[in-house]
Amino acid sequence: MKIGIFAKTFARPSLEATLDAVRAHALDCVQFNLACAGLPTLPDALDDGVIQRIRGAVVARGIEMAAISGTFNMCHPDPAERAANLVRLRVLAGACPALGVEVITLCTGSRDAHDMWRRHPDNDTPAAWRDMAGCIAQGLQIAEDCGVTLAFEPEVANVIDSAAKGRRLLDEMRSPRLKVVMDAANLFHQGELVRMPLILAEAFELLAGDMILAHAKDLSHDGEAGHQAAGTGALDYDLYLRLLRASGYDGPLILHSLEEAQVDPAVAFLRGKLWH
């Protein structure tokens, strides 16, 4: 497995300076976000010159763009909001071949109209599932048209809040263009941390065959929020990495939810676990 990082971890005034910061920490793999180039994550348009500049800067530094963020609230209660973001998703997907990236990461969303990462009681309703699944289905048509893969991750605050629901979505969509981001720190509802071995084992049993990317962060408690740098919390990393290896996963392990000052210790922690 290769250690990577959210490029947004580094707050710099330019794209080039951001990528230089990635390399300064001896990393050569990122999950990219167009915000690093001063653009919205999902732009209304992408100029060819901007695309070429991003690609050139990444290649010049020997950096792999493992995925690019296309997150928006795919369960937003306003259908017009979802439709507008699907148009923007097509803009991003259409640029991916020229950017040299094949995977777009998604957020299955929340009925919270203001924060797609905050749980809402209506997330568990049939209507929420219908709207989210319909948005995913339209996104998959875009993915097919543009030759990219979409990747979602189960998160306790979202409509897909468990591995079981992730499996249900995969089975309903039945598309080779839909894959999973595995993030062990996102799987624990309130009161579930004591069941960590069982919950992680179930997640890999249900989803490992469709996994395309893995994230590395930690958590201070179960339920919403509480995320922090890998190696500083309650996640059993020995178990998580053992399950990743056993699944045959050999892709990027992407750090996030950390401050820049925590990058080197987090990288050292992961390297120690991966190559001890």
Whole-Å CA distances, 10 to 7, 13, 106, 213, 262: 6, 10, 21, 21, 11
Does the pLDDT at position 221 exceed 90? no
Evaluate if pTM is beyond 0.85.
yes
pLDDT digits (tens, 9 = 90+) for 199-210: 999 999 999 999
Query: Domain range spanning residue 78?
Result: 2-274
The closest of 186, 171, 180, 172 to 233, measured between CA atoms, is 186
**pLDDT confidence of residue 27:** 98
Whole-Å CA distances, 247 to 167, 168, 201, 206: 16, 20, 11, 11
Q: Give how many domains the chain has, as a whole number.
A: 1
pLDDT digits (tens, 9 = 90+) for 6-37: 999 999 999 999 999 999 999 999 999 999 99
Does the pLDDT at position 224 exceed 80? no
Q: Which residues pair with 64 in a beta bridge?
A: 29
Does the pLDDT at position 225 exceed 80? no
pLDDT digits (tens, 9 = 90+) for 153-175: 999 999 999 999 999 999 999 99
**pLDDT confidence of residue 223:** 77
